[in-house]
Amino acid sequence: MDDDDLDARARLVVVGNGMAGARLVEEVLERGGGEQFRITVFGDEPHGNYNRIMLSPVLAGEAHEDDIVLNSHDWYADNGVTLRAGVRVERIDTAAKVVSASDGTSTAYDHLVLATGSYSFIPPMAGVRRDDGSLLPGVYGFRTIDETRDLLAATTRCTRAVVMGGGLLGLEAARALQGHGLQVDLVHAMPHLMNAQLDAEAGAILKRGVEALGITVHLDVLATEVLGDGHVEGVLLQDGRRLDCDLLVVAAGVRPHTDVAVRSGLEVERGIVVDDQLRTDDPDVYAIGECAQHRGSVYGLVAPAWEHATVLADVLTGTDPTAEYHGSRTATKLKVAGVDVATMGVSAPERDSDEFLVISEPGRGVHLSVVIRDDRLVGATLLGDTRKVAALTQAFDRGSALPEERIRLLVDLTDGREEVGVAEMPADSQVCNCNGVTKGAICGAVADGCGSVGAVMDRTRAGKGCGSCRSLVKQVVEWAADGDVTEDPAASYYVPGIPLAKPALVAAVREQDLRSVSAVFAALAPGGKEDARSKMGLTSLLKTVWGTEFVREKDAEFVNDRVHANIQRDGTFSVVPQMRGGVTTPAQLRRIADVAEKYEVPMVKVTGGQRIDLLGVRKEDLPAMWEDLGMPSGYAYGKSMRTVKTCVGSDFCRFGLGDSTQLGIDLETRFQGIESPAKIKMAVVGCPRNCAEAYVKDVGVVAVGNGRWEVYVGGAAGATVRKGDLLATVESPEEVLTLAGRFVQHYRENANWLERTYDFVPRVGLERIRSVVVDDADGTCADLDAALQRSIDAYTDPWGQDRREPATPGQFRPALPLVALPQVPVR
């Protein structure tokens, strides 16, 4: 007799180790189920349980796959749960109460739970599969961590992608691929994007936002054939158009995984049919999550699956034998391709008596609507502005009374009323929809000793889903802790994959002589693991520290930095030669014109930085074009000093108080190509009329008469608009060069990765910066001057260097022939 025969506990078998199945096991264990059941979990994938919602950030390089693990293999062992990872259940013998698995084993059960989830639907297009039924190479689903790994690998060798499906998953895949430098076409069969959640007007606004990112959207059209012999080469659309690609992602929806239930004779319609206690037509078999069909509904969201798990755990453990599931009121808040979206309930009126309020501002990318029935909120859609989502979610979940002036649901009116704050939120208000975490659970974690936002998130999993609720989680934690919140150490890390703040990271790099990104990971990352999100930041840092002694690695650089040009939406590049201070010559203009004609450049454009941009250049043409131009790089890419705008100044302008043109040329000559945590833009104007917008640059210089110049820092005129702060007034152009250099070097050494000066200056404080670079209070000005000079001395023009000797054999090799853009007419 073996130990199993002596174990009197009932046998609970869970088929499916995804977010529903693993959550059920957690809920059962929390109710003392470890003493009641011998638990066995089967999972198709060889991994532990991970957060499938976070696959999009992993693909985008914003998260590492280790970050999304919810239950590791060790967790199952530590909790006495047998995990059969990578083993598929093929059949259920409901009479004998035994499941048969793909490895030939049989496992008996007393209670069986099917949590098989769903699978990517691959439409039956010609050419999408090979003769053996496998997908044509280059065609991917986007549902598992293994598929995500394969897609990440493909982004390093592919240049053009087609994504099929304009729902949430398709949009996130398209955005992630576009972020890796691929040209992306998005094909959607319906007339507008996210048609399951948004109405046509909101979908049109979302489409404009997606296209603004450089993604081409094709609506109301089907893909009928996948082209390619041995590897995908393109997609044929229903209207006869062909979209070339070397990567095809199919995100055209999912289907419940019901095969094992069908083979075993259980009742199946769209999903596995269950009652209010999640029981199938066999009394000892249950189904939860995306594979379950309850009262005719199949849910594709995580929150209902976890509600299933809570009810079923109560039933199985006897905690509440009468517990029932009566359906879910679904509410989601997320960021789709960079656009904030929140939806709940219905998106449009369904009855004549329904009230429907819409506020639509296409110019701002905002669309807000609510549907009210019998004085209760039954639906809401917020696109582009989700500030009201907390109050709306509370009204939706609780069925609370609504204001007589319905517009108050969407906008604040100026009568002193305030939106419901954190303090007024009931304890059972749901803060995290993905993980079903309430305000009360967060407050409980704080009361139990979780002193930081990160600790609370780890304990409760609030904010660990799509991440859109993290600001609210932070507010609740701060309120519960009465403001006494410990700062999360990770908030100070320079890059997420290395647990060090910038000063400690720089010190370690110097002390251990780490000159490549891979060396930094090997020496300083936990477990030596590489983190895709950290590579570009480390590359920039190492260039700053080591200069010419930095060891360049192709996979640690974005494509722009690899080829010294800015990738465009069609996979071509833009070439911007340097024009110091916005000044050029007839000879340079002739060369630019000749080059544009020779290489059939589709567009020649004057930029806002007073330079000329050649757009639509093929990757393989870049070295020859640089040679023909005979001009240095203008650095219109990467994180470095970009350009110095100037006005005419005292050379010709009758209002000029100083020679802004020459000073601008001198500044650009001195700081050209200087690596920095984020891009730097400068401007010099010959008088306070500010014709070159010096007040809103990272460094702006203004002539004020009598040879004197004002130096401003921390300005911005992009998505953020901020007038720069006056750092100092100096007496000569030479002092401008010195002071600007000290500020730039201080910024380079102390700013966070991707922190622009308009964030750096307010964070550090103008007075502190002034004390360092003007007053030399720390005695470091000589060091700043010397460090900057070393970077200046190490400068080499990348166009001259790599056109003579490419850094790698494939640096300028095209991965796929590109379709030439039409010649753009001058208008």
Annotated binding site for [4Fe-4S] cluster, which residues?
Answer: 647, 653, 687, 691
Number of CB atoms found within 10 A of residue 823's CB:
11
Q: Amino acid letter at 612? A: I
DSSP string, 78-124: HTTPEEEET--EEEEETTTTEEEETTS-EEE-SEEEE---EEE----
Structure tokens at 785: 């001057």
User: Of all residues in the chain, what percent are helix, strand and coil, respectively (each to 5)?
Assistant: 35, 25, 40
d(CA 646, CA 690): 9
Strand partners, 438: 430
Burial 709-740 (b: 16+ CB within 10 A, else e): bbbbbbbbbeeeebebbebbebeebeebbbbb
Whole-number Å distance between alpha carbons of 28 and 39: 10
CB atoms near residue 749 (< 10 Å): 18
How far is CA 825 from each of CA 507, 567, 822, rounded to the nearest angstrom? 54, 21, 9
DSSP E strand boundaries for 569-661:
573-575, 603-606, 612-617, 641-646
Amino acid at 824: V
Return binding residues.
647, 653, 687, 691
What are the DSSP calls for 281-323, one per residue? SSTTEEE-GGGEEETTB---SHHHHHHHHHHHHHHHHTSSTT-
User: Pick from 407, 411, 399, 419: which is nearest to 357 by CA?
Assistant: 407
Torsion angles phi and psi, residue 303, rounded to 5: -55, -45
Task: Please enumerate in sequence order all residues whose Cβ is within 8 A of that of 337, keeping only pairs 6 or more positions apart, or say none.
Answer: 171, 172, 174, 175, 206, 209, 210, 213, 215
Coil, strand or helix: which one is 356?
strand
Alpha helices in 97-190 (DSSP H): 145-155, 168-179
Name residue 294's beta-bridge partners: 274, 297
Binding site for siroheme, by residue number, is: 691
* Range list of β-strands (E), 587-741: 603-606, 612-617, 641-646, 680-685, 699-705, 708-713, 716-717, 721-722, 725-730
Region for 345 from its dihedrals, namely left if φ exceeds 0, alpha if ψ lies in -120 to 50, beta otherwise: left
d(C-alpha 805, C-alpha 623), whole Å: 10
In Å, how far are 282, 563, 728, 795 from 285, measured between CA atoms? 5, 58, 76, 70
